[in-house]
Structure 1
Amino acid sequence: MANDLFINLLLLISFTFVGGHILKEAHESVMSKVYGKILIGIGGGILGILMMVYTIQVVGTNTLIDLRALSMIIMSSVGGLVSTIVAGLFIILYRVGYFGVNQSSIFAVVHICLYIICFHIINKKIKGYEKSWFAKLAVALTILVTTFLYLLRNVEGHYLIIAKFAIVVIFAGSLEYYLLKYTRRSNELYKIYRIDSTKDFLTGLNNTRSFDSLLNMSFNRVKENNKKLSCLMVDIDHFKRVNDTFGHPIGDMVLRELADILKKNVRNIDIIGRVGGEEFCILLLDCDKHRSYEIGLRIRDAVKEHSFPMGNDDNIKITVSIGAATYPDHVGNLEEILEKADAALYKAKQTGRDKVCESR
């Protein structure tokens, strides 16, 4: 029997890694929605059906022996109640539709209903992934062994059959726990690394690599739709003095709070990047020169009025210089917009700082 259930075990392992790879690329907001959980449940239902395709039918009975209970445990652990119900419906429809209505199929339907109810209660009552998983495994094994003791009572050697099956379920369930735990941890690390590769570690804004990619996308959008594009280069005045006087931790705090000020004073569609130590770049989509200048003034004033806390009820004040350039108002060649904005920033620095200068 252990050899016959080997295909079920391979299906379980394959499903874990393939499903894990798919979920790795899926956005968390999608998977948390009802339709996302339904999709997960459909996957679990397909796994349960495949296990029944390679099931073992005990000779002289209508009883099927396979590992479909583990697919229900996976659904409960990954997708919750909705996914478990959807997977259960798929398994029930195939079990009854393909193998017919008989005593064993009725018990199989009862099993699914018990799994849904018991696993949901376990999710509510037992905290901790490991404890919850093995509690579900124990419940499923108890239900299966109890049922098989009844259904196979007239089969010769049924105790040995049930004992072998229980050992396989325990082994497969334990193996799947560690595989699923490894897959989930790998996916978490992948998402962290993916975010870290595009976001500045200190401010949470787009880093240089990500900003360059978004800049190229913005260029293409502007060219295709014949829209305007404005660019603001923002630089902290005398930032080295802040670091030298108060220390780098205070300098880091200033950068983080400045990033928050920038985000609060632009639209959600605008793109902000940290492109240097204390230099930031803002792309204002579909924004003319008058509006971009107003936004630049608003940012300058917001920074000037903000008190940056140092701890112990002490605060410091800073100012910023801003260079602005707009395509096509200031720049005829879209690819030169950063250069023009940077030149305007240099002009703001040279003429007194704490001001907004436009490209000419």
Structure 2
Amino acid sequence: MKSVVYVFDFPIVDIDPVRKFILVNSASIVLNFISLLAAFIVTYSLFFKKLSMVYIERSPKRYRVLFGLIGGILASITVLLSVLTITNIDDFHFIDALTIGLQTYFIFISLYGGGVVSGIFTLTCITAMRWLVDPSVRMAEELNCIDLIAFAITWIGLRLDLERHWRWALISTTTILLQSGFFIMKGMDLGELLLYIGSMLVVAVVMYFIMHYVIQSLEMYVYFQRNAMQDFLTKLDNLRSLHLKITRLVKRMQDTNRDYTVMIADIDYFKSINDTYGHAAGDEVLRQFSKLLSEYCPKKDILARMGGEEFCLILSSGIEKSEKIANQIREAVAGHLCTLPTQQSAFITVSFGLAGCNRDRVHTVNDMHKVMDEADQALYAAKTAGRNRVSVYQAGDSAGHSRRLGWN
């Protein structure tokens, strides 16, 4: 019995191993991109949550630079992935286009989270990585020009007075069309181009809802955090925030041999202002007075509204220097003409009570509360002596007098 051997002559297909691996695992690449984008969104939320008060009000550039560098590092990883997929700069396919298109969202998020400074650093990292790993300088230059235009579109879009979803639609659609034009020039056929546009639109919608949820959640967090720790009227720290900062200060005092002064200020005859001009006028007086206090209180020190017309300052200076500062504030307040909502004007005066402390006197939070009671007693002495003056606590002055400050 003869055996029959059938020989099948298959054509030999020369496929680059790396290219074959990438094409077979294209879904994994896309998932990697999306995972990195998700990691950047999480980073954005952490930065926004932790630094929201600093970010919005003081805007330190070092945090924006750090945020932009984080986005740039994650985006640089995607550049490495995209370089593996692109083998022919004049023959772009769907997976090539998708890997490039997804990189742009790092610029979007960086601009959303940190503004122009963060966006520039992210864009710079992407540009530098392309020039480092891309054998074709021409392609790197072309892609960087596309991202630079996308950066400009995003920056302009964020500055437009539009609803958030319309701004996102404008930014995403314009960028997708811009990139599509580039891919058409590179020889992408119509079918793959339509697949790319459809995929990027889906990504844009998904990213919008993710970002919308994250931003909305963080804005609510900032809103409640601000209302919990900030006085609504004067924008200074409230009593709750003062308690927290005192706790931190007591711990810090044990490490430094520095004198501190507790200063309590109270507007004289404030009730008569409310009775004469109305509560809206009283609120305006409080706002203007808080601004004057802020001008004389260093940012590293503590300034809070305790309630009503009472304010507390804790200065990192001794009694003598603090007494001079208090007198400077008192004179500035006395010479300041408060403009009221009723188009009327009024002069006000303020009284101060001071008490000194250091780490030898203050070991616990309760010790600091006692010092604040002493400052309150000094304030009572200033009021008794005729108001519009600064009084320093002396042992035995106003013995037994201590108004309730709300300490637990």
Q: Do the two structures share a fold, i.e. TM-score over 0.5?
A: yes
Gaps of 5+ in 1: 150-157
Task: Find the counterpart in structure 2 of residue 80 from structure 1.
Answer: 119
Q: 2:375 aligns with which of 341, 350, 353?
A: 341
Q: Structure 1 residue 268: deviation in Å?
A: 3.8
Residue 11 in structure 1 maps to residue 35 in structure 2: yes
| CA deviation profile, 1:164-203 (whole Å, cap 9, x unmatched) | 3332122213332443344344444444443433221111
The answer for the alignment partner of 1:138 in structure 2 is: 177
Pairwise CA distance, 1:274? 0.5
The sequence identity of aligned pairs, in percent, is 23
The within-5 A match list for 1:196-211 is 196-211=227-242
C-alpha separation in 2, matches of 1:125 and 1:214: 40
Residue 76 (structure 1) shift: 5.1
Q: Which amino acid aligns with 1:233?
A: I
What is the aligned partner in structure 2 of residue 310 from structure 1?
Answer: 340
Which is worse superposed, 258-267 or 161-170? 161-170
Equivalent in the alignment of 1:297 = 327
Structure 2 CA distance for partners of 1:18 and 1:329, relative to 1, 3 Å = closer
What's the CA shift for 1:273? 0.7
Matched, 1:68 2:100: yes
Specify whether residues 23 and 345 from structure 1 end up closer, same or farther in structure 2 by C-alpha distance, changes over 3 A only.
Answer: same
* Contact preservation (8 Å) 1:76, 1:83: no
Q: Of the candidates 44, 48, 73, which is equivalent to residue 20 of structure 1?
A: 44
Paired with 2:333 and 2:92, the residues of 1 have a C-alpha distance of 76
Closer, same or farther: CA 11–124 of 1 in aligned 2, 3 Å: closer
Specify the code of the residue in structure 1 equivalent to 2:42.
V
Deviation at 1:92, TM superposition (A): 5.4
User: Does the 8 A contact of 1:230 with 1:327 survive in 2?
Assistant: yes
Q: Determine whether 1:319 maps to 2:349.
A: yes
**Equivalent in the alignment of 1:42:** 73
Partner secondary structure for residue 254 of structure 2: helix
Cα 1:45/1:122, change in 2 over 3 Å: same
| Match in the other structure for 1:29 | 60
Of 226-235 and 184-193, the range deviating more from structure 2:
184-193
TM-superposed deviation, 1:272: 1.0
- Which one of the candidate residues 206, 209, 222 is aligned to 1:175? 206
1:159 CA displacement: 5.0
For residue 4 of structure 1, report the CA deviation from its aligned partner: 6.5
Q: State the Cα distance separating 1:220 from its structure 2 match.
A: 2.5
In 2: Cα distance, 1:332 partner to 1:21 partner: 38
Q: Tell me if the contact between 2:253 and 2:358 (Cα under 8 Å) persists in the aligned partners.
A: no
SS at match of 2:340: strand
| Compared CA separation, residues 162 and 292, structure 1 to 2 (3 A) | closer
Looking at structure 2, the residues matched to 68 and 332 of structure 1 have their Cα atoms a distance apart, in angstroms, of 60
Q: How does 1:154-169 map to 2 (within 5 A)?
A: 159-169=190-200
- In 2: Cα distance, 1:234 partner to 1:349 partner: 11
Instruction: Give the AA of the match of 1:261.
Output: L
1:326 & 1:236 partners in 2: Cα distance?
Answer: 21
Shift, 1:325, TM fit: 0.7
Q: Answer with 132-141 or 335-344: which moved more.
A: 132-141
Q: Report Cα offsets for 1:304-357 as digits up to 9, x if no partner.
A: 222211246521122222211112599687422101111111222233322222
Other structure's SS at 2:233 match: coil
Change (3 A) 1:73 1:146: farther
The 1:284/1:23 distance shift into structure 2, 3 A limit, reads: closer
Deviates more, 1:83-92 or 1:266-275: 83-92
CA separation of 1:330/1:344 partners in 2, compared to 1, >3 Å: closer, same or farther?
farther
Please say if residues 228 and 328 of structure 1, whose CA atoms lie closer than 8 Å, have aligned partners that are also in contact: yes
Distance 2:154 2:30 in 1: 29
Which one-letter code corresponds to 2:315 in the other structure?
Answer: L
- Please give the secondary structure, in 2, of the residue aligned with 1:353: coil
CA distance in 1, matches of 2:221, 2:179: 32
Q: Summarize the Cα distance change of 1:192–1:230 in structure 2 as closer, same or farther, 3 Å threshold.
A: same
- Read off the aligned partner of 2:41 and give its amino acid letter: F
Q: Secondary structure at the match of 2:186?
A: helix
Q: Return the TM-score normalized by structure 2.
A: 0.71
Alpha-carbon offset, residue 13 of structure 1: 5.4
- For residues 106 and 144 of structure 1, do their structure 2 counterparts lie closer, same or farther at Cα, with a shift above 3 Å needed? farther
Shift of 1:276: 1.5
Q: In the TM superposition, what are the counterparts of 1:204-353 in structure 2 within 5 Å? A: 204-285=235-316, 287-311=317-341, 313-327=343-357, 334-335=367-368, 336-353=370-387
Q: Is the 8 A contact 1:41 1:86 kept in 2?
A: yes
Q: How many residues are treated as equivalent by the alignment? A: 340
Residue 251 of structure 1: CA displacement?
0.7
TM-score, normalising length: structure 1: 0.79
Cα RMSD after superposing both structures: 3.5
Q: CA deviation at 1:261?
A: 1.6
Aligned counterparts of 1:7 and 1:278: Cα–Cα separation in 2: 58
User: Distance in 2 between the 1:181 and 1:57 partners?
Assistant: 36
Where structure 2 has 5 or more consecutive residues not aligned to the other structure, the ranges are 1-22, 112-117, 161-166, 395-408
Report the residue type matching 2:100 in the other structure: R
Give the Cα separation in 2 of the matches to 1:62 and 1:332.
71
